[in-house]
Structure 1
């Protein structure tokens, strides 16, 4: 599988896969204790992000910190072994940050069951956040999601010399 060139990266823009919010923020807080990442008053704070930054800066910091965490911990060798076709592939990750800052309810959609399992494993390793999300001065549950995008390049053509070696090796 030397011919596979794999790259793993998160899309530069993090996408929240939580349900569309059709009610006002106050109604959401009263009806449930879950508030969308896109409308929350104070976003959860990922370790290493300065909680004194504004919401938009904290969102970007959280996205980049999660990207770095996933890149460090995702088993790239697994991409080689599952036999995906050449091209672009995505794994969609969804989870919630609870009222204490823990990552809960991790789910994933992936082009292969082993990749789904690996994505859930890696996201479940994310350490407790420094601060949960807050709405109306109270901690709330915050749904969050992002894609893991990667590309598998097509196999490169073997040179004539490599083809001869392969034929010779197969005859032995």
Structure 2
């Protein structure tokens, strides 16, 4: 025996209609809730303009008379006293003039001693008159040529003596070491200072600088001076 559904008892028959009715009811409820306004009764403010009990009239304001301002002080002009030329009791005051006296003799230029400014004990590399000469750059005649040759010979010296420390290779250390040293008045290298990422790299850079040859010192107005110089050495693993 086969069972069949009664079409009158089908629940999904009017589901779309019920859905629309419910949606309309929700929208209407939301609209009413948003547009609903409530008014509260507030007591009226009453301003009592009548005269308070026990006071028949309003008292007039109290006026305080301030004292008059003092009269302005009148400063009398100075009295100019005329003194007779033959009056010996009065002493005349003389005012010195700041103007130059034409009777004063002018010093000769030959008598003036010119003092030269003192020579600095240390002059930086780019400002020294005669830069230090690296061995092998003696044939350069110009200052610019000597400076360029100095830079080139420094690079050659670093490449020739460069040696990557084994410990730095094992630790994978690399970076830039900034070195500053001073070329003394006798051409020797001294006052070596350095800064780098690791002490191992700094020691290798110091070793390279320690092998620099003795140079011709720099000169300022013909006198030997100290010349500081700085150069970076880059350690980079391949």
TM-score (ref. length: structure 1): 0.64
Tell me whether 50-59 or 108-117 shows the greater mean CA deviation. 50-59
Bigger RCO (CA 8 Å, 6+ sep)? 1
Cross-structure match for 1:84: 173
Cross-structure match for 1:99: 185
Counterpart-to-counterpart distance in 2, 1:143 and 1:43 = 11
| Residue 68 (str. 1) matches residue 156 (str. 2) | yes
Residue 121 of structure 1 and its aligned partner are, at CA, apart by: 1.3
CA offsets, 1:129-155, max 9 Å, x none? 1x10000110000000111124335xx
Cross-structure match for 1:170: none
Residue 52 of structure 1 and its aligned partner are, at CA, apart by: 4.0
Q: 1:49 aligns with which of 125, 137, 148?
A: 137
Q: 1:134 aligns with which of 197, 205, 219?
A: 219
Counterpart-to-counterpart distance in 1, 2:204 and 2:181 = 15
CA RMSD across the alignment: 2.0
Counterpart-to-counterpart distance in 2, 1:126 and 1:38 = 20
Q: Which runs of 5+ in 2 are unaligned?
A: 1-115
- From the two aligned structures, give the one with the greater helix fraction: 1
Q: Which runs of 5+ in 1 are unaligned?
A: 1-25, 154-172
| Residue 122 (str. 1) matches residue 211 (str. 2) | no
Structure showing greater radius of gyration is 2
Is the contact between residue 165 and residue 204 of structure 2 (CA under 8 Å) also seen in structure 1?
no
Counterpart-to-counterpart distance in 1, 2:161 and 2:141 = 27
Is the contact between residue 82 and residue 112 of structure 1 (CA under 8 Å) also seen in structure 2?
no
The number of residues matched between the two structures is 122
- From the two aligned structures, give the one with the greater strand fraction: 1
Cross-structure match for 1:39: 127
CA offsets, 1:90-117, max 9 Å, x none? 1101000000111111111111101101
Relative to structure 1, the CA distance from residue 59 to residue 82 in structure 2 (aligned partners, 3 Å threshold; closer, same or farther) is: farther
Residue 53 of structure 1 and its aligned partner are, at CA, apart by: 2.3
Is the contact between residue 45 and residue 51 of structure 1 (CA under 8 Å) also seen in structure 2?
no
Is the contact between residue 165 and residue 200 of structure 2 (CA under 8 Å) also seen in structure 1?
no
Is the contact between residue 124 and residue 227 of structure 2 (CA under 8 Å) also seen in structure 1?
yes
* SS of residue paired to 2:236: strand
Counterpart-to-counterpart distance in 2, 1:66 and 1:95 = 13
